[in-house]
């Protein structure tokens, strides 16, 4: 018995040592590579002012160049990054084409330089996963170990981009399967996230955090709790709109009978026209608008309207659908923060900033099915004071958004309602949902009772007339 115990503990010890070493190494590598990507992206944005005309006039050509780069050199670099990594983990044991790293980097820089409404975290995650896959292939790791390292790559990439190592680690192990956290990858993901984040800070990356404690009273309040629940329902519906808009727009553009370059060019032209009509707030990363929505200074948020999140959804859907390369989560932060700002203005003017923060994390939770990572991100970005409200809002939004996701390759491992019937283990895009048989029978019985009541009422009226 003692010998078995010693054998068990020895095996676990060597496993822990192995993954501490590997995940630290991979985290440092990814932190350095993604830091290079972020610096190039920053330089590209700063270079926009060099042009003798508005930089977004280059968007049609930037989208054509992006499509050409992806189609020619790395077709798996298409889209918003994280989705392709999830697919690679589920279908190819984490094997990712090495060409994805430079192509995704360059295509994203070109897209954002031109003003496409995309983010930087998807490419960060895909570049990180690509580095992990290359590392695994170079040193001939098993398929199982490669898969774990690629998941670490998602966590490290996310942590490097947003400066949230704990949320990044949880995101990497929560985003793959809806309703299931991969505990066997938890330790390496944490270590990779911390190593990448620390490396990025060492190399000069600075992050923005918003501590609401200093200007926002968020003490427990029953009325406020009720408003937060209303907000959570609203954020769930906003998330559904985002998922549907991005998916439907992409499918519609793909069905258009024209060359991909033609569609990319005219998609860019439409975005330029919309920018001339509505302004520059909806193109690019939109980080200034996010900061304004989360600022206690009302003067900074004067340009945030009730429809701002709707327009951002439109710009992002068109940018990705027309062939833009970049992430979806930064636009989701924008949509969440501005929709929360709009709702706060309407139902709780004294807590506008709180609702902007709740929208920021709740729309992330609902669109990506990551309520735990989103709640932890609240603490890392906004402080502990609003964590209880954020957890409530993130979980309700996650449930309300239904069995859909911005990442269609996510696998379903749970039902969000016992009243529904669906096949567990399917990808989100292939799920067929219906009511459980006993629920259908209940509805039939209710309908039958209603019909009987109507019939009785008609008979009574008929008898009265006859009398």
Q: Can you give the pLDDT at residue 426?
A: 83
One fold for 2-202 and 212-402: yes
Question: What pLDDT is attached to residue 400?
Answer: 94
Q: Give the C-alpha distances (Å, rounded to integers) separating 31 from 37, 42, 83, 97.
A: 10, 16, 21, 20
State the pLDDT at residue 106.
92
Query: Is there a contact between 111 and 66 (Cβ–Cβ < 8 Å)?
Result: yes
pLDDT digits (tens, 9 = 90+) for 342-363: 999 999 998 899 999 999 999 9
| Model pLDDT, residue 215 | 47
pLDDT of residue 439: 53
Express each pLDDT in 237-284 by its tens digit.
Answer: 999 999 999 999 999 999 999 999 999 999 999 999 999 999 999 999
Q: Where do the structural domains in the chain lie, given as residue ranges?
A: 2-202, 212-402, 436-466
What CATH number does domain 2-202 carry, 1.10.1370.30, 1.20.120.1200, 1.10.3080.10, 3.60.10.10? 1.10.3080.10
pLDDT at 210: 74
DSSP per-residue string spanning 290-338:
HHHHT-S-GGGGTT--TTHHHHHHHHHHHHHHTT--SBSHHHHHHHHHH
- The parts of the chain modelled with pLDDT lower than 70 are 79-80, 211-220, 435-445, 448, 464-467
**Helix runs in 47-115, H state only:** 59-73, 82-92, 100-114
Backbone torsions φ then ψ of 21, nearest 5 degrees:
-65, -50
- Distance (Å, rounded) from C-alpha 293 to C-alpha 296? 8
User: How far is 354 from 386, CA to CA, in rounded Å?
Assistant: 8
Give the CATH number of domain 212-402; options: 2.40.30.10, 3.40.50.720, 1.10.3080.10, 1.10.630.10. 1.10.3080.10
């Amino acid at each position: 018995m003692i010998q078995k115990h010693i054998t068990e503990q020895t095996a676990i010890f060597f496993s822990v040592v192995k993954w501490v070493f590997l995940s630290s190494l991979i985290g440092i590598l990814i932190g350095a590579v993604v830091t290079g990507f972020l610096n190039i992206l920053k330089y590209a944005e700063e270079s926009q002012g060099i042009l003798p005309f508005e930089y977004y006039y280059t968007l049609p050509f930037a989208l054509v160049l992006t499509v050409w780069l992806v189609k020619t050199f790395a077709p798996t670099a298409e889209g918003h990054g994280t989705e392709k990594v999830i697919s690679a983990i589920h279908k190819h044991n984490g094997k990712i084409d090495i060409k994805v790293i430079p192509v995704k980097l360059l295509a994203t820089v070109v897209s954002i330089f031109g003003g496409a409404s995309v983010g930087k975290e998807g490419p960060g995650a895909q570049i990180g996963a690509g580095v992990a896959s290359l590392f695994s292939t170079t040193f001939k790791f098993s398929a199982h170990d490669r898969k774990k390292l690629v998941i670490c790559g998602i966590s490290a990439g996310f942590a490097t981009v947003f400066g949230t190592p704990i949320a990044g680690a949880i995101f990497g192990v929560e985003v793959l399967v809806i309703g299931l956290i991969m505990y066997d990858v938890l330790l390496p993901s944490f270590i990779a996230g911390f190593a990448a984040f620390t490396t990025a800070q060492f190399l000069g990356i600075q992050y923005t955090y918003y501590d609401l404690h200093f200007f926002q009273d968020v003490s427990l309040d029953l009325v406020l709790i009720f408003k937060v629940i209303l907000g959570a329902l609203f954020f769930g519906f906003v998330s559904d709109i985002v998922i549907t808009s991005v998916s439907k727009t992409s499918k519609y553009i793909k069905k258009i009978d024209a060359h991909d370059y033609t569609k990319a060019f005219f998609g860019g032209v439409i975005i330029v026209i919309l920018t001339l009509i509505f302004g520059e707030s909806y193109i690019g990363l939109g980080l200034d608008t996010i900061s304004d929505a989360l600022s206690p200074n009302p003067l900074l948020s004067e340009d945030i309207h009730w429809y701002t999140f709707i327009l951002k959804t439109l710009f992002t859907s068109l940018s990705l659908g027309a062939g833009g390369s970049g992430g979806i989560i930064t636009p989701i932060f924008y949509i969440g923060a501005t929709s929360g700002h709009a709702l706060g203005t309407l139902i709780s003017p004294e807590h506008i900033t709180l609702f902007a923060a709740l929208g920021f994390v709740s729309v992330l939770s609902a669109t990506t099915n990551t309520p735990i990572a989103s709640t932890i991100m609240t603490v890392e970005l906004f402080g502990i004071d609003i964590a209880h409200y954020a957890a409530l809002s993130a979980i309700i939004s996650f449930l309300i958004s239904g069995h859909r996701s911005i990442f269609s390759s996510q696998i379903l491992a749970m039902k969000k309602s016992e009243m529904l019937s669906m096949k567990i283990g399917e990808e989100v895009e292939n799920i067929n949902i219906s009511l459980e048989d006993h629920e259908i029978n209940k509805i039939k019985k209710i309908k039958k009772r209603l019909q009987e009541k109507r019939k009785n009422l008609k008979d009574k009226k008929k008898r009265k007339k006859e009398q």
